[in-house]
Amino acid sequence: MRLVPFLVATLVAFIVAPPVATLFALLVALLVALLVALVGKRVYPNAMYSIEKTIADLARDLVMMDSRSALSNIPNADRIEPELLGFDVERVDYNDAAGVQKRVLIANRGGAGGIAFSGHMDTVPETGWQEDPWSGRIDKHGVLHGLGSTDMKGPVAAAIVAARALPASVPVTLLITTDEETTKLGARAIAERSDLVRRVQPKAILVVEPTIMRPVRGHRSHIQFTCVAEGVQAHSSTGKGRNANWTMVPFLADLKAIYDRLLSDPALQDQAYDPPFSDFNVIIDNHGTAVNVTVPLATVTIKYRYSAGVDPSFVRNAVRQAGERHGVAVRENEEGSPPELPAEHPFVRQCADLSGKPTITAPFGTDASILQAIAPCVIMGPGDIGIAHKPNEAVSIPELAAAVPVFQALAQRFA
């Protein structure tokens, strides 16, 4: 209750009025104070208020814990685990390539089948941020600010709250991963090593990445090529060195031809995606060599994205052959294959029906590339991917809360 108006009114009454009037004024002031307190609190109906508050508390705590992919996500996992009271919880631990400890969580309530909600705990680096990326600041409009707020600690919090608030008899599973932004090792750990998933066999997986609740029925996956040419380091004036870039130049010309082909050949494109042509992004790195030194190591990295309707072997073979022709060593890293369900798939239709938004395809990748090995995947969640991966990332708490009944209705339909 707000005491200030009550006390002020009491004081005024005592000064200006006789005792009976004072008693009356006291009663009126009490009523006014009660009213002010109630109006101040009841912005939302009770249930909605508590859902928003629970999501805000969890999402803010998760944002305040730095979980960039290079770091251990165990503090995030430790914050989430006590939220899963009444769930059967499995931890799968692993060390990433740099030896950093990672943990994924699998949780189930209500038994086998049903739907699974999936999201990741890691974030991209804090490139370009001016304000504190881990502030977890919630402004007066109910918007949570911070790295990973929309991608995707906010949606993860919404999914956990939705699952927890379901009747205990409705089967529901949570697949909470990490390393989504880099290697997808978290999702791989679940697909390959989770006993709980093997037991539960969820019928469908909703990856709750921020899509403004538009159901994404398919997305591209990528192959990353790392291409290395070696030279001999020397002072460039001596004539004793060999610059690795002279090996790389004709290789790069061949890459340009592949790129042009991707832009012009409809057989390598997919009209169901925007843009229809594939991403083939080339990064050139001389590792900081000074201009008076012959380059000992030139590295070209390429990210090639393709959808389920495109055969990646043309690009794969063309890059390999260009490497062989010019003496460039080529290494490949595959993300997993691109997931895609037909627009008329029952899961896709349920999602579109419940969210009221049109079904789309997306050019970016998610854990669905890996999780599709467990069950059919649709990607749909609150928040906007368009403001992720850059400074001032933020997500609206009321928007997160609005996703809860949609997630729950989906869970009920798959029960």
Residue 2 corresponds to which amino acid?
R
Query: Cα(64)–Cα(248) distance, rounded to whole angstroms?
Result: 44
CB 315 within 8 A of CB 304: yes
Query: Of 49-57, 147-155, 219-227, 313-321, which segment contacts Zn ion by CB under 5 A?
Result: 147-155
Query: Of 98-106, 141-149, 151-159, 255-263, which segment contacts Zn ion by CB under 5 A?
Result: 151-159
Minimum distance from residue 364 beta carbon to Zn ion (Å): 8
Is residue 151 part of the contact set for Zn ion (CB under 5 A)? Answer: yes
Nearest CB to Zn ion, comparing residues 207 and 252: 207
Query: Of 50-58, 128-136, 144-152, 261-269, which segment contacts Zn ion by CB under 5 A?
Result: 144-152
Minimum distance from residue 148 beta carbon to Zn ion (Å): 9
Nearest CB to Zn ion, comparing residues 145 and 219: 219
Minimum distance from residue 152 beta carbon to Zn ion (Å): 5
Minimum distance from residue 380 beta carbon to Zn ion (Å): 13
CB 116 within 8 A of CB 175: yes
What are the strands of the beta sheet with 297-306, ordered from one edge? 280-285, 297-306, 221-230, 329-334
Site string for Zn ion, 98-137 (x = CB under 5 A): ----------------------------------------
Count the alpha carbons within 13 Å of 126 in the hemisphere toward its beta carbon. 18
What are the strands of the beta sheet with 360-362, ordered from one edge? 88-95, 101-109, 172-177, 115-120, 204-207, 377-379, 216-219, 360-362
Using CB positions, name the residue nearest to Zn ion: 151
The residues that bridge with 93 in the sheet, in sequence order, are: 103
Query: Of 207-215, 338-346, 394-402, 407-415, which segment contacts Zn ion by CB under 5 A?
Result: 207-215
24's CB contacts (< 8 A; 6+ apart) are none
Query: Cα(210)–Cα(61) distance, rounded to whole angstroms?
Result: 19
Residue in 59, 80, 152, 158 binding Zn ion, rule: CB under 5 A: 152
Query: Of 149-157, 226-234, 320-328, 338-346, which segment contacts Zn ion by CB under 5 A?
Result: 149-157
Nearest CB to Zn ion, comparing residues 13 and 58: 58
| Residues that contact Zn ion, how many (by CB under 5 A) | 3
| Cα-based angle 359, 371, 415 (whole degrees, multiple of 5) | 70
User: Which residues here bind Zn ion, judged by CB under 5 A?
Assistant: 151-152, 209
